[in-house]
Amino acid sequence: KCTYAENALRMMGLTHNFAPLIVFCGHGSSTENNAYATALDCGACGGRHGGSNAKILADIMNCSKVRMQLARNGIKIPETTKFLAAQHNTTTDEV
């Protein structure tokens, strides 16, 4: 979990100046009877919705043990910072 968290934060360039609320937003679509439906979903998620990945990452980032290890590795997340997950529907543009 710690490696996943650290790599994700470093890839995003999010290693300091944390806001009180950080939202990881996956994306996906909603279609019916569409043979190309997965083309509208997240390619990085294997043609699936990305909301579950956002939720898992937010849960990992909110874990106190993970934050302690991140602090040892130079990424100090304030206790007041909370991570939330969302999903953007690319068909309806709703979150």
Q: What are phi and psi of 59, to 5 degrees?
A: -60, -45
What is the pTM for the complete model shown? 0.81
Task: Mark 10-49 as b/e (b = at least 16 C-beta within 10 Å).
Answer: eeeeeeeebeeebebebbbbeeeeeeeebebbbeebeeeb
More confident residue, 90 or 45: 90
Cα–Cα distance between 93 and 95 in angstroms, integer? 7
- Give the mean pLDDT of the chain: 88
What per-residue confidence (pLDDT) applies to 65? 97
pLDDT at residue 40, rounded to an integer? 65
Q: Which residue has the higher pLDDT, 56 or 33?
A: 56
CA distance 63 to 48: 26
